[in-house]
Structure 1
Amino acid sequence: MSVLLIAGSPSHTSRSAALLESVGKRLAKHQIEVTQLQIRDLDAQALIHADFAHPSIVRAVQQVADAKVVVIATPVYKAAYSGVLKVFLDLLPQTGLKGKTVLPLATGGSPHHMLALDYALRPVLQALAAKQILPGIYATDAQVFVLPEGASTLSTDLAVRVDEAVHVLVSEVLLPKPHADASFAPVHFSQVRCSV
């Protein structure tokens, strides 16, 4: 069962990428296959001109198609997700997320942009036919610490929310435990007793 991590930040070092990486590391501890897609690394001209046949776009769209779970991370600009992410999502087929579980992540300068996940990104994910969209995780810049050498840490409360989201992904979507068979053994009609 593969998970695709999509980084929707135009920057090489970003808090949204750090948040996404923390999800990937937690999934890897459960032996979950994780692949990454950095939208900023796709051919810029192909993205802008919607060149569906460009090799980098074809590969990226195939990565989405092959994944069972998609985790999307974006910075919030002007109360919406990044333009880089918007351009990429526009290149996916109308049912590009069909049958997939999606975990949206976002970072922003203040708590005031928290609703961007529900009012800007979630409708697009629904329009792309996502099977299930988990509650998103929004983090302020003060909750994600990116160090100069590229390492990052999360605040305690944010780390707890990320742990909970990963637990849901693993236990309910990726590695669900089989339920005990709750069906009853067949009963012959002669064994049925009725009282009136």
Structure 2
Amino acid sequence: MSGTRRVAVVVGNPKPESRTLAAATYVARELTGQDPDLVVDLAVLGTALLDWTDPTVAGLVEEVGDADLVVVASPTYKATYTGLLKLFLDRFATDGLSGVAVPLMLGAGSAHALAPELTLRPVLTEIGAIVVTPGLYVLDAAHDDPTAYVAWLDRVRPAVRHLHPTGANA
């Protein structure tokens, strides 16, 4: 897809079609004005994530690694991202992500609001991503409320627009 900006979403919720998935695709659309080109709902991969020779997982790692913008999302479990997401991110070399990454986490209460910054941002940086925006933490109960995202989106759109100059909202 030469010349086309690719947008990916990776979701580490162990439940398929989760609120985390809905939130991540919403954020990707709002940042770029387009639906993501690739959505990786890790829950549907099951035990394939444990098989380092699995060609499907290897292909997804390559596609995500080549994306220009990746929204990486997880529910908050024990103040950090899920083991499911960890299994996937462990597949990436230190230069495995070549684009901009946006850390997004959902949680039940505000006590873990720094989890995207303290746990997810460092691993995304370690695997090569450019993390130019603050991480986003959304309460589970507000995952489908656009007002839960407005202030953060207004703050980060200029940076994303600069690095990913496509889309109506970008």
Q: TM-score, normalised by structure 1?
A: 0.73
8 Å Cα contact 2:132-2:159 kept in structure 1? no
The letter of the residue matching 1:87 is L
Q: Alpha-carbon deviation of 1:172?
A: 1.2
8 Å Cα contact 2:65-2:96 kept in structure 1? yes
Supply the distance in 2 between the matched residues of 1:165 and 1:73 (Cα, whole angstroms). 19
The letter of the residue matching 2:65 is A
The letter of the residue matching 2:84 is V
Out of 149, 166, 171, which is 2:161 matched to?
Answer: 171
Name the CA shift for 1:127/1:77 in 2 (closer, same or farther; >3 Å): same
Deviations 1:162-185 (A, max 9, x none): 532662365211117xxxxxxxxx
Q: What SS class does the counterpart of residue 37 from structure 2 fall into? A: strand
Q: Which 4+ stretches in 1 moved above 6 angstroms?
A: none
The letter of the residue matching 2:135 is G
The letter of the residue matching 1:116 is A
Supply the distance in 1 between the matched residues of 2:145 and 2:152 (Cα, whole angstroms). 9
Task: Give the corresponding residue for 1:85.
Answer: 85
Task: Give the corresponding residue for 1:160.
Answer: 150
Task: Give the corresponding residue for 1:18.
Answer: 22
Supply the distance in 2 between the matched residues of 1:46 and 1:71 (Cα, whole angstroms). 22
Deviations 1:23-44 (A, max 9, x none): 233356x3476321111122x3
Name the CA shift for 1:169/1:33 in 2 (closer, same or farther; >3 Å): farther
Supply the distance in 1 between the matched residues of 2:17 and 2:110 (Cα, whole angstroms). 21
The letter of the residue matching 2:126 is A
8 Å Cα contact 2:79-2:115 kept in structure 1? yes
For structure 1, the residue ranges without an aligned partner over 5 or more in a row are 145-152, 177-196
**Equivalent residues, number:** 162
Deviations 1:2-50 (A, max 9, x none): 111111111124221121121233356x3476321111122x333124x
Q: Map 1:20-169; keep pairs closer than 5 Å.
A: 20-27=24-31, 30-31=33-34, 34-42=37-45, 44-49=46-51, 51=52, 53-97=53-97, 99-144=98-143, 153-156=144-147, 158-161=148-151, 163-164=153-154, 167-168=157-158
Supply the distance in 2 between the matched residues of 1:123 and 1:9 (Cα, whole angstroms). 19
Q: Give me the identity figure in percent.
A: 33
Q: Alpha-carbon deviation of 1:155?
A: 4.8
Q: What SS class does the counterpart of residue 135 from structure 1 fall into? A: coil
Moved more, 87-96 or 75-84: 87-96
For structure 2, the residue ranges without an aligned partner over 5 or more in a row are none
Q: Which has the higher contact order (CA 8 A, sep 6+)?
A: 2
Structure number with larger C-alpha Rg: 1
Q: TM-score, normalised by structure 2?
A: 0.83
